[in-house]
Amino acid sequence: MAKGAIEGLIKYLPISYQEKTVESREKVHHYQSLAGYAFDNVGLGVAHGIAHAIGGKFDLGHGLINAIALPYVLQYNSSSPIVHEKLAGLSRDANSFITAIQKMNALLHIPRSFAQAGITKEQFFSDFDELVENSLKGSTRANPVAVSAEDMAILLTSMYEGSELCD
């Protein structure tokens, strides 16, 4: 179910964004509903944990925050052989899938970073320890790869700056 939802959204979301046809919007609605069912079955993860923490502090929408966070979280989670294999099942390899998500985000005019989304450095890093702590709560606990406070600080900094994660 999740794989079908991902494949459908990657195909139809850009079409819906560009052409705005009823058919493409129906497809997006269908595949997003499948994604919702998949979320219910497997839970959420660190992207949603971060979205709750950042959304509670800054004036950005939950979906936008998730979209910005997703490539970074996929890169982080791909350190797990199981996750890496699942991502590779969606493209040539895990990195190709992550690149496809980045390209789709660019096509949809989604900022690559929280800085590009309009959050100043001073805003983002004031009470940074609290942001890290809040990002570790909730759905982050269900992430397929454990996330330490140090890892979260690196993730958030990368997401703010738009930089790649260090291996």
Q: Please spell the DSSP secondary structure of 65-82, one letter per residue.
A: HHHHHHHHHHHHHTTSHH
Whether 67 contacts 103, CB under 8 Å: no
Tokens of 166: 């260090």
- pLDDT of 41 reads 67
- pLDDT of 167 reads 44
- pLDDT of 112 reads 96
Per residue in 102-151, pLDDT tens?
999 999 999 999 999 999 999 999 999 999 999 999 889 889 999 999 99
- pLDDT of 36 reads 80
With H, G, I as helix, E, B as strand and everything else as coil, classify residue 130: helix
Report the length, in residues, of the chain.
Answer: 167
Q: What is the pTM of this model?
A: 0.90
Tokens of 35: 């994604």
Give the N- to C-terminal CA distance of the chain in Å, as an integer. 31
Dist. CA 156–CA 140, nearest whole Å? 13
Nearest to 160 by CA among 53, 38, 42, 80: 53
Residue-by-residue pLDDT tens, the chain, 167 positions:
778 888 888 898 999 999 989 998 998 898 889 888 777 666 689 999 999 999 999 999 999 999 999 999 999 999 999 999 988 888 888 999 999 999 999 999 999 999 999 999 999 999 999 999 999 998 898 899 999 999 999 999 999 999 876 44
Whether 165 contacts 75, CB under 8 Å: yes
Which of 135-139's residues contact partners 24+ apart within 8 Å by CB, and which partners? 135/46, 135/49, 135/50, 135/52, 135/53, 135/54, 136/49, 137/49, 137/52, 137/53, 138/48, 138/49, 138/52, 139/43, 139/44, 139/45, 139/46, 139/48, 139/49, 139/52
- pLDDT of 66 reads 96
